[in-house]
Amino acid sequence: MASQCGDGEITADEESPSVVSHHAEAKKEVPWTPQPPFEILNKYASHVKRFRHGRIIRPAPETTAGRSPHQELSADSILELAKMRLLQHTSQRCGDSDSFKYDPHLSSESNKDVELTSCLLNAAEKFANQQFDCAEKLLRRCILLSSHADSPVERVVKFFAEAIHERVDIERGKIDLHKNIFHLEDTLFDYQPAILALEQKLPSAQVTQFTAIQAVLDGVGTARKIHLIDFGIKTGLHWSIMMQGLANRENYPLELLKITAVGTSKDRLDETGRRLSSFAESMNLPFLYKTVVSETKGLKKDSFEFDPDEVVAVYSGLCLWSQLAWPNQLREFLQFVKNLSPCVIVVNEIEASTNTSVFIDRFHGALPFTIATFDCLDTCLKGDTIYRKIVEDVFFRDMIRNIITAEDEERTFRHAKISFWKELFAEFEIVGTELSDSTLYQARLLVKGNAAWDSCTLDMNGNYMLIQSIVTGAKFSDDRSCQRSEERREVMDGSDRTAVTETWLKKHRLLYVGATRHPFLLGIRDGSVDFASFKRWLGQDYIFVRAFVPFIASLLLKAWKESDDDSDVDVILGGMAALNDEIAWFKKEASKWGVALNSVVPQQTNLDYCRFLESLTSPDVDYTLAITAFWVIEAVYQESFAHCLEDGSKTPEELKETCQRWGNDGFGQYCRALQNIANRRLEKASDDVLAKAEVNLLKVLEHEVEFWNMSHGV
Ligand SMILES: Cc1ncc(CN)c(N)n1
């Protein structure tokens, strides 16, 4: 795809003031080159070196204090700073150009972005308060200053300012609401190369595609006849990826893959069908493609062809939002889907809060999400400026206009938060099912394996996966503190008493799976492990375990001084005593494998982890924090090695003793005792300690993943 659009062309187009020429260019037919499924995942092998600290542990909010001169700010930090500026300078409210004080620590670009954003925020507030003159003055300033739109923030400000300006004119009766006749399906089709570029380069698109495919594959299991119903098939690229997964299925050869695509344009559906059919043919995959030409409203079951032997799966990719303006219709649609009796329904939606009739709330719901998206587009479509412009100009400009200028049913662009969707699905007894470990692991690997996706984070909300383009440090801490009381409430007064640590493990399951189902461990479990890797692990872990001794000693001291329960000391002492035996075991094992422990040089990853342990030995560190970290460190090994001993494992004889050491039931009981102590302490901890303990849990998990990476030799 990218090679279809060389740099020269892009440069020329970049200089063009109009986007129309880009559109003409981008509409050119380009070959459809689906990526083989696991080739995308195989990319990890070469990228895995970048499998470094991701964004799961977000940085502290960026502030300008202590910053080097002329620093660039991330787009989301600009938004936070702009909000702060606006709050601080309440007197400078009506577009007075001299009132904005440039921060000498920031680059001129960042200063300009902050100024523009606070001007826009101010204008939106003024508009919401019906101070149209003042709003107009501010908006004119935004439009003027963002006319060159160099940065993603400027482009967002420009689109929002233009839309609010139009809204001011509507309110004043100067113009009528110009109805947006935006037909998503047509637009997607008209700009297919841009959409394909998006699908292939945007982390959220790739992760959702893979997760969706894997969830469908898990859902249909070993079925030989699979019927996929897709409401919103677009390019159909995702199914070509799945076809390759199905073609590789060994024990349960596929008898038929049937896809029924639902949409309003027969031509467009047929074209997608032709591509998928030829792709299936090239793979010798038994394939049938059907179409149902209809709006989602008023769908009839008998428009679909069902076979009693087949297993039905439903995919709804960015499709439900378009019905949010008509809640009854949305409910009818869900009932319809439910009546199809699918084995799995995979839904992919944008999470934002724009489904409200209150203008200012909608504005604040749409702005961060748009800034994050533009920032992400800027990074991921760097070499495809034409496509980026199309996506911004065609899709987002219309979306912003609609969110800002329209009301009631005219307002068709809506997004809801995950809690809304969960409640809605629950009405139909549609509940989230757990994503398999391999799905979670692959999703995380996909994000971590691509340096350009540094700003993408994955989180779990129950069984729902959240993919966020960018989350600010500030937002991170806000979100966490909002959740804190909820987490605690679950512990204290819920009848279904879920402890804090369990809630966290669910919330951070992706990372937990990454730490406990690493390919190094899976290699031990299936017998394919490279013994050189095992020896590397042995030597490095010996060094780690030695550093563990002072950590436990300091923990013992903290327990003795601070604990409200004497038995804590006994549990920790048990762990300490076992370490003596463990160190002796390492020595014996090392001599068995010919590893000279004295000459092992600690690797940087190991040193980093040991330094983290050391930081927890300080008397300033709260007992609750240290015991929580201790529990996670032990629990990861317990869960990891126990998995290598479960039924079906092919762990080589010579590694069984290692797995037994941490995978045995006694060690499991000891870990549960540690977890109980952690829960008891966390239940009573202050919000501050609770927040720090959660961050430490994430840090331990990250260190553990890195430790396995190091051992694995990546
Ligand atoms: C890296 C690491 N993590 C945990 C453990 C278990 N004590 C260990 N030995 N090494």
What DSSP letter does each residue of 222-259 carry, written as one string?
A: T-SEEEEEEES-TT-HHHHHHHHHHHT--SS--SEEEE
Please state the atom number of ligand 1 nearest to the C-alpha of residue 540.
Answer: 1
Amino acid letter, 578? A
For residue 230, list its beta bridge partners. Answer: 261, 315
Active-site entry in 154, 639, 704, 706: 704
Tell me the best of 707, 709, 710, 711 to mutate to test the pocket of ligand 1, counting ligand atoms within 8 Å of each CB and taking the most.
707
Mean pLDDT of 57-79: 55
Residue 511 pLDDT level (bands cut at 50, 70, 90): confident
Tokens 């000391």 identify what position? 569
CA distance 166 to 220: 49
- The whole-number average pLDDT for the span 517-523 is 91
DSSP-derived pairing of the beta strands 464-468 and 457-461:
antiparallel
Question: Per-residue pLDDT averaged across 381-387, rounded?
Answer: 84
Give the position, in ligand 1's atom list, of the atom nearest the Cα of 606.
1
- Tell which wins on pLDDT, 204 or 178: 204
Residue reference for tokens 């971590």: 448
Mean pLDDT of 693-699: 92
* Range 447-457 average pLDDT: 71
Going by alpha carbons, the residue nearest to atom 3 of ligand 1 is 633
CB 161 within 8 A of CB 142: yes
Tell me the C-alpha distance between 310 and 243, whole Å.
17
Give the ligand 1 atom nearest the CA of 704.
Answer: 1
Closest CA to 634 of 683, 676, 681: 676
Instruction: Identify the pLDDT of residue 556.
Output: 97
Token pair for residue 187?
């637009």
Report how far residue 179's alpha carbon sits from residue 406's, in angstroms, rounded to the nearest whole number: 8
The whole-angstrom separation of Cα 111 and Cα 100 is 9
* pLDDT at 31 > cutoff 70: no
The ipTM of this complex is: 0.98
**Cα 544 to averaged position of ligand 1 atoms, centre (Å):** 7
Q: What is the reported pLDDT for 367?
A: 95
Span 650-661, average pLDDT: 97
Instruction: Give SS3 for 260.
Output: strand
Mean pLDDT, rounded, for 437-443? 79
Separation of 365 CA from ligand 1 center, angstroms?
43
Between these two residues, 498 and 597, which has the higher pLDDT value? Answer: 597
Between the CA of 521 and the centroid of ligand 1 the distance, in Å, is 13
Q: Which residues contact 130 (CB under 8 A, 6 or more apart)?
A: 171
In the prediction, which pLDDT does 142 show? 94
**For the chain, percent of residues with pLDDT exceeding 90:** 55
Mean pLDDT across the chain: 82
Asked if residue 39 has pLDDT above 50, the reply is no
Site to substitute for ligand 1 among 603, 631, 636, most atoms within 8 A of C-beta: 636
Cα 536 to averaged position of ligand 1 atoms, centre (Å): 14
Q: According to the model, what pLDDT value does residue 211 have? A: 86
pLDDT score of 36: 35
- Rounded distance, CA 515 to CA 634, Å? 12
**pLDDT band, very low/low/confident/very high, at 458 (cuts 50, 70, 90):** confident
* pLDDT value for 486: 46
Protein residue with least CA distance to atom 4, ligand 1: 633
Of all residues in the chain, the percent with pLDDT exceeding 70 is 81
DSSP 329-355: HHHHHHHHHHHT--SEEEEE--B----
The answer, yes or no, to whether residue 325 has pLDDT greater than 80, is yes
Strand 225-231 with 256-263, pairing: parallel
What digits encode the pLDDT tens for the residues 194-251?
A: 877 887 788 788 888 888 888 898 899 899 999 999 998 988 888 988 898 888 777 7
Please write the tens of the pLDDT for every residue from 460-469: 888 888 887 6
What confidence tier does 38 reach under pLDDT thresholds 50, 70, 90?
A: very low
Report DSSP state, residue 305: -
Cβ contact 432:422 at 8 Å: yes
The pLDDT assigned to 126 comes to: 95
pLDDT in tens, 264-274: 989 989 999 99
pLDDT tens figures, 238-265: 898 889 888 877 778 899 999 999 999 8
Mutate to test the pocket of ligand 1, among 606, 637, 710, 711 (most ligand atoms within 8 A of CB): 637
What torsion do the CA atoms of 219, 224, 229, 234 make, to the nearest 10 degrees? 90
Pocket test for ligand 1, best of 634, 703, 711 (most atoms within 8 A of CB): 634
pLDDT value at residue 30: 43
Distance 436 CA to ligand 1 centre (A): 25
**Backbone phi and psi for residue 145, each to the nearest 5 degrees, phi listed first:** -70, -25
**Whole-number pLDDT of residue 491:** 39
What are the residues whose beta carbons fall under 8 Å from the beta carbon of 167, sequence distance 6 or more? Answer: 127, 404, 405
Of 67-81, 145-159, 362-376, 698-712, the poorest mean pLDDT is in: 67-81
Task: Tell me the CA–centroid distance for residue 632 and ligand 1, in Å.
Answer: 10
- Mean of pLDDT values over 119-127: 95
Q: Whose CA is nearest to atom 10 of ligand 1?
A: 541
Atom of ligand 1 nearest to the CA of 662: 6
Band of residue 658 on the pLDDT scale cut at 50, 70, 90: very high
The Cα 290–Cα 263 span in angstroms is 11
3 state SS of 594 = coil
pLDDT in the model for residue 188: 63
Distance 108 CA to ligand 1 centre (A): 47
Ligand 1 atom 7: the closest Cα is on which residue?
Answer: 634
Reported as a pLDDT band with limits 50, 70 and 90, residue 629 is very high
Any residues with Cβ below 6 Å from ligand 1, and which?
Answer: 541, 544-545, 548, 633-634, 637, 704, 707
Q: What is the mean pLDDT of residues 42-69?
A: 33
Cα of 476 from ligand 1 centre, angstroms: 29
pLDDT score for 488 = 46
Distance 628 CA to ligand 1 centre (A): 15
Contact 143, 158 (CB under 8 A): yes
523 alpha carbon – ligand 1 mean position (Å): 18
Which pLDDT value is given to residue 187?
Answer: 64
What does the alpha-carbon distance between residue 710 and residue 536 come to, in Å, rounded to a whole number?
8
- The predicted pLDDT at position 632 comes to 98
Closest atom of ligand 1 to 703 CA is 1
State the distance from the centre of ligand 1 to the C-alpha of 542, rounded, in angstroms: 9
Q: What is the pLDDT of residue 34?
A: 40
Would residue 704 show up in a list of annotated catalytic residues for this protein? yes
Q: Ligand 1, residues 541, 640, 659: which to mutate, most atoms within 8 A of Cβ? A: 541
The pLDDT assigned to 21 comes to: 37
The minimum-distance atom of ligand 1 relative to the CA of 582 is: 9
Q: Judge whether residue 97 has pLDDT over 80.
A: no
* Residues 433, 445: Cα–Cα separation, whole Å: 21
Distance 642 CA to ligand 1 centre (A): 14
Q: Which of 521, 537, 544, 703 to mutate to test the pocket of ligand 1 (most atoms within 8 A of CB)?
A: 544
Q: 233-247, 356-370, 540-554, 583-597: which range is least confident on average?
A: 233-247
- Give the number of residues written for the chain: 714
Atom 6 of ligand 1, residue of closest alpha carbon: 634
